[in-house]
Amino acid sequence: METLGTLVDNLSIVHLKLAHVADLDENKERLFNLGAQAGRLTSEINAFILAASNGLIQEEALLTPACKVYPKREEPPAPEGSLAHLIDYLAEINAALWATQEEVARIREIPPEKKDEVVERCFDLNMERSRTVDAINRAFAKVVSEAKP
């Protein structure tokens, strides 16, 4: 089951695709399809929020963690803040990750001494993305819990 964090993450990525496709002056069909996908995700987010606020989604489902499997390493603390702040932060992380992925796509052009840095940045941003999705889920569950009579 999707969570608010994963839905918002997906919407953020669709908006990045829209921006990049528009920059590339791609065909109108691709722009239309991405716009339709953004619309569907927005509707799904609204329906999810409504269902959760009406008690139709159990708290455990709101908190489903991303469960990403990465090598063990010391992690910074999870991001904190309001739900809106975390959603905004996720969009920033996804934009930075997009830019880093573009560097990875050109890895052959990167000097050997810089390749490790690019790969590490990609890894770190992916970890931060997962932690932020989980933080959004916790913040939303708290909002829903506090709104209950």
**Mean of per-residue pLDDT scores for the chain:** 89
What's the pLDDT band for 111 if we cut at 50, 70, 90? confident
For position 89, what pLDDT does the model report?
Answer: 97
Tokens for 23? 């920059």
Written as one string, the DSSP assignment of the chain is ---HHHHHHHHHHHHHHHHHHHHTT--HHHHHHHHHHHHHHHHHHHHHHHHHHTT-S-HHHHT------------PPPP-S-HHHHHHHHHHHHHHHHHHHHHHHTGGGS-HHHHHHHHHHHHHHHHHHHHHHHHHHHHHHHHHHHH--
What's the pLDDT band for 25 if we cut at 50, 70, 90? low
The pLDDT of residue 91 is above 90 = yes
The pLDDT of residue 120 is above 70 = yes
Q: What's this model's pTM, rounded to 2 decimal places?
A: 0.87
For position 46, what pLDDT does the model report?
Answer: 97
Rounded CA separation 132/149 (Å): 28
Buried b (16+ CB within 10 A) or exposed e, 108-140: eeeeeeeeeebeebbebbbbbbbbbbbbbbbbb
**Per-residue model confidence as pLDDT tens digits over 36-80:** 999 999 999 999 999 999 999 988 889 887 666 666 677 778 889
The pLDDT of residue 129 is above 80 = yes
